[in-house]
Amino acid sequence: MKLDNKNILLQQHWPTNVIMEGVDISDEDNQELIRIGKEHSKVFKHVPDILDPNRRGYNLFNVDHPAIHKLSALIKSRVQMLMEVDGFIDHKKYDIEAVAAYREHEPGDRSKTHNHRGCDYVAVYYADLDVFDDGKDNFKQPKGRFIFTDPITQRSRAMNHTQNVDVVVYPKMLVMHPAYLYHFSEPYLGKKTRSFFTIVIRIAEPIQHPFYKKLWYIKHG
Yes or no: say if 181 and 151 are a contact pair by the CB < 8 Å rule.
Answer: yes
Q: What is the C-alpha end-to-end distance of the chain, expressed in Å?
A: 39
Q: What is the pTM of this model?
A: 0.81
Give the range among 49-58, 136-145, 193-202 with minimum mean pLDDT.
Answer: 49-58
Query: What is the second-level CATH architecture of the domain 19-213?
Result: Sandwich (2.60)
Q: What distances in angstroms separate CA 163 from CA 18, 115, 185, 187, one per listed residue?
A: 15, 17, 15, 20
Yes or no: say if 33 and 26 are a contact pair by the CB < 8 Å rule.
Answer: no
- What distance in Å separates the CA atoms of residue 55 and residue 75, rounded to the nearest whole number? 18
Q: pLDDT for 108-156, tens place per residue?
A: 888 888 888 888 999 999 999 988 765 554 445 566 788 888 777 655 5
Backbone angles phi, psi at 171, to 5 degrees: -55, 140
